[in-house]
Amino acid sequence: MRYLIRNLLFIFLLINVTACKTYRLIPEKQDTPEHNFDINLSGDTPNYTNLKYWVEHPEKENHYASLPKNYIDSTYNSEPIIDVFFVHPTLYFKGNTWNADINDKKLNKEIGDAAINNQASVYLGIANIYAPHYRQMHIQSYYDLENGLQAFEVAYLDVKNSFMYYWEKFNKGNKFIIAGHSQGTNHTERLLKEIILENDSMRNRLLISYLPGMPIKQFHKDLPPCSSPNQLNCFLSWRTLAEGYFPKDWEVSDSISCVNPISWQTDNLLSKKEEHLGILFKNHKIYYPNSIEAYTKNGVVWIKPIKIPFARFYKMKNYHIADYNLYWINIRNNLRYRLKENGYN
């Protein structure tokens, strides 16, 4: 049985390995673990009864999630009746252990400043945000699968334990959303498959799942890909590339789910510029609405050249790191629309 699980996990990581490679370049040798995986070097196990092990939580005194500085939300809800469980992407790029130290203050702050403020913030004022710290696996885990598989297990166990604690202590009957990005999407996909969708109570309270940044195929009969802008009880996934670019080692498959995060359609039609509502920049302000046109092809979102001032400084082939930022208001407004259309507003 253990042999079977190991092989299934190997296949799982192998499928996703090239998708996360593009998040950063291959790490320099001096930035990667020198030794093989050792469970004794995985550090302290997070105790989710302690709020310090939650990067974002409604009961924390200080919060990383905030709305963009130049964005006004007249329908902001300070006491939502919906939750979101968010799992952050890989931010552990330098270190000599295969899993991040859960007590690394510098890394934990970076997680808050980057992933929570740029990504999870899209749900702020719509849902209560629960985002655990977890012993994320080193980016090198996507290249060295012998060690990476074991590091993945440690990381996933933390995610699973944090969700179970959320469910038992904090959910209190609320409908909820599952969301992640990149490595976080890997963990939430497995969490959905093994735990949430196999539990009637959890499945009945699950509204929608956001699984961007990884090649996701339908993995459970009770969770289809979303096919319309107002649908719930489904999942959304996308990966953003520059038009015409497709990594040679990525799989081309019609079964990889991909939605256009501007039109929220799964067809191959080009979205209109006026449908794009702006980009969230590093200074946490929204700029340049009507600047992106996008369409889906071969399981990815292709965007046409972004015509904004100094565009060459933002130009890249793979926009993995900006899967939320490019469409921040589009994601937020569409979630509100889905909830309203289904009687949750």
Q: What is the CA radius of gyration of the chain?
A: 19
More confident residue, 180 or 314: 180
pLDDT tens for 48-87 read 999 999 999 999 999 999 999 999 999 999 999 999 999 9
Contact 280, 324 (CB under 8 A): yes
Q: With CA atoms as reference, report the closest residue to 123 among 161, 53, 76.
A: 76
Residues 18, 24, 26, CA angle at the centre, nearest 5°? Answer: 70
Q: Are strands 128-132 and 54-56 parallel, antiparallel or unpaired?
A: antiparallel
Distance CA 219, CA 307 (A): 37
Token readout for 198 is: 């196999």
pLDDT tens for 159-209 read 999 999 999 999 999 999 999 999 999 999 999 999 999 999 999 999 999
Distance CA 166, CA 172 (A): 9
For the purposes of burial, counting CB atoms within 10 Å of the CB of 267, is it exposed (0-12), middle (13-18) or buried (19 or more)? exposed
User: Which are the contacts of 257, defined by CB distance < 8 A and separation ≥ 6?
Assistant: 216, 217, 218, 225, 235, 237, 266, 299
Q: With CA atoms as reference, report the closest residue to 127 among 223, 213, 71, 205.
A: 205
- What is the structure's pLDDT at 19? 39
Token readout for 303 is: 């965007």
Q: What is the mean pLDDT of the chain?
A: 92
Q: With CA atoms as reference, report the closest residue to 103 among 55, 64, 150.
A: 55
- What is the structure's pLDDT at 29? 62
